Amino acid sequence: MVWKYQAAIMTLGMTALGAHAITTNYTSTVDPTKLNIPNIEQTTSHDVVAQCKYYQPPFTLDKAAWPNSWEIATSNGMNTSAEYTALYNSIDWTKAPANVKQKTKGPDGALNLQGYDTANDPDCWWSASQCTKPKAQGVNADIVNCLEPNTWGLTYDDGPNCSHNAFYDFLEQNNQKASMFYIGSNVIAWPYGAMRGLKDGHHLAGHTWSHQLMTTLSNQEVLAELYYTAKAIKYVTGVTPLYWRPAQGDLDDRVRWIASQLNMTAILWNLDTDDWAANTMPGVTPETVQQNYKNFIQMGSNGTFNTVGNIVLSHEINNMTMDFAMQNYPEIKKNYKHIVDVATCMNFTNSIYIEKSITYPTFDQLVNQNASTATGSGVSPGASGSSMGTQTTVNGALFIAALFGVVASLF
Ligand SMILES: [Zn+2]
């Protein structure tokens, strides 16, 4: 099944934004309703070494058609390829927010906010003031919390990866769906992980190709990071995500506008566990993260979310972050009425992907379904138990890549 897609005819939303035909070329031979994951040790074992052994993916990858793994998505000549050039030229860049400039990084790799009017935050730059309501025209606003009261919006970033069978088994055993924000390079490297995510009923969304700070990239680079991640998810799973999350929440109205050209909307969060930072960032220990979880869990019973729910940022990344999630799950369940993926709590149903063949339940449907099949919490701890040791590298893409430990070399 190979097909092309013209974004302009896709939704009324695009028409309302005054968008025109965007030339994309998302292809796949995979039927998302009939995913086939073989019983090999990489997909069944709980042994890290066995899971992380390279496997031949169920497709042939034309290396010349993809960016380099974990490099900015214009790499490997993508920015001059016919496909990308057609995409870039199909966007009317004269409509982009004129005053929002590309941001810079300091020598330490961190965002440089010097000289920026943080108080007024004219660019609606999340990293400056956690702004999520765009100030520019024609830009999709971010989603930051589930609208359903007493609801924990469950999200995991930075997958798919090897060594996550126990975690996905745990979610499956608990009939628990989550929003999974996948990194494009990882999707290509660990395709069965991404396929399992979809097959298990999780909500798949993009998390950029190489996990850069998006506001520091050029227009070309931002577009390529978004496009090739969506393309990778489509190629491997058969669905093309309409939602995405920027690394470290770093987006402004320029980045939002570019995402909006692909009809993509950002999903951020309003509670951050900081799970990835334990033993890595100064002052953040596993106890800090456990305390964060504890505080957020208490909010479920102290009335904080009586009128709206939350979205909580957590990570797949490694055994430590997955352990935090599994250990705290029973208490979250006790203190919140509902734990759901973002697609479900926002009632996206069939507007999660470009393909309409995949539909998610409405919030009411899910709640009623769970009520009729309720068997108690049924929580069982997954097989895990290792810890990460200490990591002391710089924050950013390479750091995150290092955290994964093993990166398959398909490229
Ligand atoms: Zn991330």
What's the rounded Cα separation, in Å, for the pair 61 and 190? 13
For the segment 390-411, the average pLDDT, to the nearest whole number, is: 36
State the distance from the centre of ligand 1 to the C-alpha of 394, rounded, in angstroms.
14
Name the residue among 56, 7, 12, 3 with its Cα closest to residue 32.
Answer: 3
220 — alpha (psi -120 to 50), left (phi > 0) or beta? alpha
Q: For the ranges 203-207, 219-223, 288-292, 377-381, which has the lowest average pLDDT?
A: 377-381
Name the residue among 311, 318, 214, 285 with its Cα closest to residue 256.
Answer: 214
For the segment 214-230, the average pLDDT, to the nearest whole number, is: 98
Q: What is the pLDDT of residue 20?
A: 62
Residue 150 has pLDDT above 50, yes or no: yes
What's the rounded Cα separation, in Å, for the pair 236 and 298? 39
* Radius of gyration, CA atoms only, the chain: 20
Q: What is the pLDDT of residue 391?
A: 28
Cis peptide before 97 (omega within 30 of 0): no
Q: What is the pLDDT of residues 29-67, one digit of tens each?
A: 999 999 999 999 999 999 999 999 999 988 888 999 999
Q: What is the pLDDT of residue 369?
A: 86
What pLDDT band is residue 2 in, cutting at 50, 70 and 90?
Answer: very low
- State percent of the chain over pLDDT 90: 81
State the distance from the centre of ligand 1 to the C-alpha of 410, rounded, in angstroms.
21
What pLDDT band is residue 370 in, cutting at 50, 70 and 90?
Answer: confident
For residue 292 the two structure tokens come to 């964060």
Residues whose CB falls within 8 Å of the CB of residue 240, separated by 6 or more in sequence, listed in order = 5, 26, 230, 231, 233, 234, 353, 354, 355
The pTM score is: 0.87
What pLDDT band is residue 374 in, cutting at 50, 70 and 90?
Answer: low
**Mean residue pLDDT across the chain:** 88
For ion ligand 1, residues whose CB falls within 5 Å = 157-158, 247
Q: What is the pLDDT of residue 30?
A: 95
What pLDDT band is residue 357 in, cutting at 50, 70 and 90?
Answer: confident
Q: Can you list the domains of the chain with their CATH numbers? A: 5-94+132-404 (3.20.20.370)
Q: What is the pLDDT of residue 21?
A: 81
For the segment 89-102, the average pLDDT, to the nearest whole number, is: 97
Strand partners, 311: 153
Q: What is the pLDDT of residue 211?
A: 98
For residue 335 the two structure tokens come to 């203190």
Residue 290 has pLDDT above 90, yes or no: yes
For the segment 288-316, the average pLDDT, to the nearest whole number, is: 98
Cβ of 201: how many Cβ atoms within 10 Å? 18
State the distance from the centre of ligand 1 to the C-alpha of 133, rounded, in angstroms.
21
State the distance from the centre of ligand 1 to the C-alpha of 51, rounded, in angstroms.
22
The DSSP letter of residue 243 is: E
Residue 13 has pLDDT above 80, yes or no: no
State the distance from the centre of ligand 1 to the C-alpha of 400, rounded, in angstroms.
7
Known catalytic residues are: 157, 315
Q: What is the pLDDT of residues 245-286, one digit of tens each?
A: 999 999 999 999 999 999 999 999 999 999 999 999 999 999
For 342, the 3-state DSSP assignment is helix
What's the rounded Cα separation, in Å, for the pair 107 and 86? 35
Cβ of 98: how many Cβ atoms within 10 Å? 9
State the distance from the centre of ligand 1 to the C-alpha of 326, rounded, in angstroms.
19
Residues whose CB falls within 8 Å of the CB of residue 380, separated by 6 or more in sequence, listed in order = 170, 173, 174
Q: What is the pLDDT of residues 309-348, one digit of tens each?
A: 999 999 999 999 999 999 999 999 999 999 999 999 999 9
Looking at 96-178, which runs of residues are DSSP E strands?
151-159
150 in Cβ contact with 344 (< 8 Å): no
Q: What is the pLDDT of residues 164-183, one digit of tens each?
A: 999 999 999 999 999 999 99
